[in-house]
Amino acid sequence: MDTIAVCVCTFQREALLEACLSSVAAMALPASTAVHVVVIDNDAQATSRDFVESLRGRFPLPLHYECEPRRGIPCARNRAIEVAHALKADYFVFIDDDERVEPNWLVSLADYCREKGGQAVIHGAVEPMLPEGTPAHIQAVYQKKNRPTGARLSTCATNNVMVPVRVTRELNLRFDERNPLAGGTDTIFFTQAVRQGIEIYECREALVRETIPASRATLGWLSKRKYRAGITEAWRKRQGGRSGFSIVLSALLQCLVEGIKAGVTGLCGLKHLRNRFWLKACRSAGVMAGMLGAKVDSYRKIDS
């Protein structure tokens, strides 16, 4: 019988965490599998302890609470890995505290992982739930093309992913804690896993729905996110063996071209195209900044 640890990292977002855990409590379970739910409270004040403890007696699955006082999402994720190892889990799963799982979510993840031999990382689909009244041109940014089931990925995020424990036990991979409030450490983690022979596949049937607050349904917030993603992309490009000069030059040209296209389409009133080009320019700007040593504290401010 396999053991799966479903891990949720949280920080002072009790209402979102409650909705997340409610959806986990209602989900179907994979056959021949023991499932544990692990909540990592990334708050030195342990503000979620009482809430999680209050659920324990009526929660349908073993529920574990751990406080990770060191601030930063990679610290919380690494604590989750420690707990998964202590539980002798065969797999650990990460979802975000602002997500709700569909009833057949974990069954789909586990079944597809077994179909792939049980040694591959499986990433599921994430569907955004935008606030009412979100402008159409912002909705278009969030309406990503879904990758088909079976697509091979070079990296992925921890927003919906199942990981064989051998990735952290045998390969000894961990999330980089050197810049604990920076984003992109999940991208780096899975990039390193692929380089050590781990395969990553997409599974569209394993669906979670992400609550998007109004503060994130703006072009300003999306621009900052793309800029931060560019900083992480700079690391990946450099690790791929490209010279710093070629990376900066390419990013500069892309930034200029996409910026001009954004300006022209904006003047023409084509907001959805303007956004697309502008966000590409922001990502390229992030690549340049990353090559020059820039760092961003993505998780200093948490949206409720």
Which sequence spans correspond to the domains of the chain? 2-214, 219-291
Give percent of the chain above pLDDT 90.
Answer: 81
Has residue 183 got a pLDDT over 80? no
Written as one letter, the residue type at 166 is R
Q: What is the pLDDT of residues 149-166, one digit of tens each?
A: 999 999 999 999 999 999
Find the mean pLDDT for residues 168-183.
88
Please, are residues 268 and 304 in contact by the beta-carbon 8 Å criterion? no
CA atoms lying within 13 Å on the CB side of residue 165: 20
Write the CB contacts of 42 (distance below 8 Å, at least 6 apart in sequence): 9, 10, 11, 68, 71, 72, 73, 75, 76
> The pTM is what?
0.91
Q: What is the pLDDT of residues 66-101, one digit of tens each?
A: 999 999 999 999 999 999 999 999 999 999 999 999
Q: CA-CA distance, 193 to 207, in Å (whole number)?
A: 23
Find the mean pLDDT for residues 283-294.
89
Q: Which residues pair with 101 in a beta bridge?
A: 208
CA 250 to chain centre: 27
The dihedral region occupied by 86, where left means phi > 0, alpha psi between -120 and 50, and beta the remainder, is alpha
- Exposure string for 254-284, b = 16+ CB within 10 A, e = fewer: bbeebbebbeebeeeeebebbbbbbbbbbbb
Q: pLDDT value at position 298?
A: 58
Q: What is the pLDDT of residues 197-251, one digit of tens each?
A: 999 999 999 999 999 999 999 999 999 999 988 988 888 787 767 888 889 999 9
Q: pLDDT value at position 52?
A: 96
Q: CA-CA distance, 95 to 297, in Å (whole number)?
A: 21
CATH 3.90.550.10 fits 2-214, yes or no: yes
Q: CA-CA distance, 157 to 197, in Å (whole number)?
A: 18
Tokens found for residue 89: 């889990």
Q: Which of 48-52, 149-153, 244-248, 293-297 has the lowest mean pLDDT?
A: 293-297
Has residue 16 got a pLDDT over 80? yes
